[in-house]
């Protein structure tokens, strides 16, 4: 079932001013946007600080000035706001979903079917989205639901930053919402209010025939879209700089072999167009338009820009089994949503025989299957858990190296695990230790290797130490264990024992 994310931006003008810093307004100072119609002036947007002191949308500008002396006001700029929304939609298109569109004048909408699992699920996806927007100086609220209408309404009528409506839970989530969430014309809403209709539940309970006769088909259509009885497809945002190739079919197709044949043809057309522009593709989307007015999408990402038809075709064709053609496919679109300049360069020498190994095709295959790939790189730190960092699999070498001469375990735990230890003396290696419920007798041990705390990072580590030992049990298994502290002074550590890694 399709899942739709609606992101609502309650105050784009403030975000635009504060981000660019020109005449920046302090975050705690109330700020409102004023719209005009003839001689009438009213508040069309209010930031968080303004709403906290009682200002609201629709209030007259003179009344707002009377409530707060010296209130900061700015004229509405619909053109600039529309441009900002389009930039945000393009950003979301590259980062989150192949199907993204501008949603009215205050938000964007995305079809995230099949994309949320790459970000840990719907809750983590929209939470990360809202947090990323906040880091860029933008305020947003996001909602996930089965339909565009439900996600649109909930994002705008709830105060929660993120809301996930369970699959099949649209009716319970929207039945109590006011009818203006249906995106009906203002005069229709006003006439419904005259009849005493205030909520979606009250409107949906009305007989359809009299409702259509009096108000036309629009209220019924919006209700059907809200509850998912009628499809409301999202028309993806497309700009002139996006490279798009398409294939329309006079007769719908559905066989996997036929789909693969046309996908390979589209890839050939796309790479030819990219070659003319001197570009390589980093992210491409295959959008499948079905005859039932629904869409499916396949996204292929690459570690570096390429325009090799065989490589891109493999990434897309390997996932054709995920396509559900339904009653047939009437159009295929292949879009290069992220491109970079790609220059031809010589990779082999005519003077020497050299094997150039390129692992990026393998990285692309694994990454497009949903695997999270990374490399470990050394960090200048004596503390084991701080001595490594994750970098991209294709990132250049950092040039750093581990300076320690003592052996390190092949498997280092993310968090040391507590063990029970019997030792002859406080500063001696363990004779017996119990880990995960199993008692192990130590036959050989080497150490200690003393590691001191990094006082320049945390003052409390001034006296902290660890004594590490490499120990081997009766089965020949080797472990890396340590005692927190020097065995004498409690200021240096708790003197508890931990296992931090396993050799071999």
pLDDT band at 375 (very low <50, low <70, confident <90, very high): confident
- pLDDT at residue number 67: 85
Give me the numbers of helices (H) and strands (E) for the chain, helices first please: 14, 20
E strands of 205-357, at which residues?
243-253, 279-290, 295-306, 329-341
DSSP structure class, residue 118? G
CA distance 426 to 265: 72
- pLDDT at residue number 154: 95
Q: Which helix (H) or strand (E) element contains residue 465?
A: strand 465-473
CA distance 19 to 13: 10
For the stretch 300-325, pLDDT in tens is 888 889 899 999 999 999 889 889 99
Q: What angle do CA 178, 181, 186 make, to 5 degrees?
A: 95
For the stretch 257-301, pLDDT in tens is 999 999 999 999 999 999 999 999 998 999 999 998 888 888 888
Tell me the two tokens of residue 406: 């003592």
CA-nearest of 371, 361, 256 to 317 is 256
Q: Is the pTM of this model over 0.75?
A: no
Q: How many other CB atoms are there within 10 angstroms of residue 298's CB atom?
A: 22
Question: What are φ and ψ of residue 8, in 5° steps?
Answer: -110, 130
CA-nearest of 384, 466, 482 to 429 is 482
- Residues linked to residue 374 through DSSP beta bridges, in sequence order: none
Q: How many other CB atoms are there within 10 angstroms of residue 148's CB atom?
A: 25
- pLDDT at residue number 273: 94
Residue 188 backbone zone (phi > 0: left; psi -120 to 50: alpha; other: beta)? alpha
The angle, 0 to 180 degrees and rounded to 10, between the axes of the packed helices 186-194 and 208-215 is: 120
For the stretch 450-460, pLDDT in tens is 999 888 888 88
- Kindly report which listed range (32-36, 157-161, 369-373) carries the lowest average pLDDT score: 369-373
CA distance 182 to 184: 5
- pLDDT at residue number 1: 60
- The whole-chain average pLDDT of the chain stands at 87
More confident residue, 27 or 226: 226
CA distance 243 to 337: 7
For the stretch 329-351, pLDDT in tens is 999 999 998 898 887 666 666 66
pLDDT at 355 over 70: no
For the stretch 213-222, pLDDT in tens is 999 999 999 9
- pLDDT at residue number 419: 95
**25-37: string of b/e by CB count within 10 Å (b at 16+)?**
eeeeebbbbbeee
For the stretch 106-135, pLDDT in tens is 899 999 876 776 677 889 999 999 999 988
CA distance 298 to 323: 8
CA distance 219 to 445: 79
């Amino acid at each position: 079932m399709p899942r739709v994310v609606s992101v609502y931006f309650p105050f784009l003008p403030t975000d635009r001013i504060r981000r660019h810093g020109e005449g920046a307004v302090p975050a705690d100072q109330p700020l409102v946007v004023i719209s005009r119609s003839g001689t009438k002036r009213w508040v069309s947007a209010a930031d968080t600080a303004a709403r906290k002191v009682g200002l609201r949308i629709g209030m007259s500008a003179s009344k707002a000035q009377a409530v707060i002396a010296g209130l900061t006001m700015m004229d509405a700029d619909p053109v600039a706001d529309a441009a900002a929304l389009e930039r945000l939609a393009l950003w979301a298109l590259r980062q989150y979903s192949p199907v993204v569109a501008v949603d009215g004048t205050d938000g964007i909408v995305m079809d995230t079917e099949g994309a949320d699992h790459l970000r840990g699920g719907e809750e983590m996806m929209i939470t990360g989205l809202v947090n990323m927007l906040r880091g860029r100086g933008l305020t947003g609220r996001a909602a996930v639901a089965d339909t565009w209408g439900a996600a649109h309404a909930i994002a705008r009528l709830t105060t929660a930053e993120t809301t996930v409506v369970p699959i099949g839970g649209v009716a319970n989530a929207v039945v109590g919402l006011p009818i203006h969430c249906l995106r009906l014309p203002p005069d229709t809403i006003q006439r419904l209010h005259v009849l005493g209709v205030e909520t979606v539940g009250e409107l949906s309970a009305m007989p359809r025939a009299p409702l259509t006769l009096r108000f036309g088909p629009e209220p019924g259509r919006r209700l059907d879209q809200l509850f998912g009885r009628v499809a409301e497809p999202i028309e993806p945002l497309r700009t002139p700089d996006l490279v798009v190739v398409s294939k329309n079919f006079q007769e719908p197709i559905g066989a996997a072999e036929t789909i693969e044949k046309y996908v390979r043809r589209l890839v050939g057309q796309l790479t030819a167009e990219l070659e003319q522009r001197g570009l390589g593709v980093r992210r491409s989307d295959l959008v499948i338009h079905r005859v039932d007015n629904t869409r499916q999408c396949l996204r292929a990402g690459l570690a570096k820009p390429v325009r090799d038809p065989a490589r891109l075709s493999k990434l897309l064709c390997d996932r054709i089994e995920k396509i559900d053609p339904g009653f047939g496919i009437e159009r295929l679109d292949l879009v290069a949503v992220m491109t970079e300049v790609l220059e031809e360069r010589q990779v082999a020498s005519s003077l020497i025989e050299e094997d150039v190994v390129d692992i990026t095709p393998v990285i692309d295959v694994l990454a497009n299957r949903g695997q999270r790939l990374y490399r470990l790189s050394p960090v200048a730190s004596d503390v084991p858990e701080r001595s490594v960092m994750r970098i991209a699999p294709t990132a250049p070498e950092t040039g750093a190296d581990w300076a320690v001469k003592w052996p390190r375990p092949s498997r280092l735990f993310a968090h040391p695990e507590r063990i029970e230890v019997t030792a002859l003396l406080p500063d001696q290696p363990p004779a017996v230790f119990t880990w995960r419920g199993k008692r192990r007798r130590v036959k050989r041990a080497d150490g200690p290797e003393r590691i001191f705390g990094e006082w320049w990072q945390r003052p409390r580590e001034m006296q902290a130490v660890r004594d590490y030992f490499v120990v081997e049990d009766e089965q020949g298994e080797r472990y890396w264990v340590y005692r927190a502290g020097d065995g004498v002074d409690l200021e240096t550590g708790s003197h508890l024992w931990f296992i931090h890694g396993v050799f071999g």
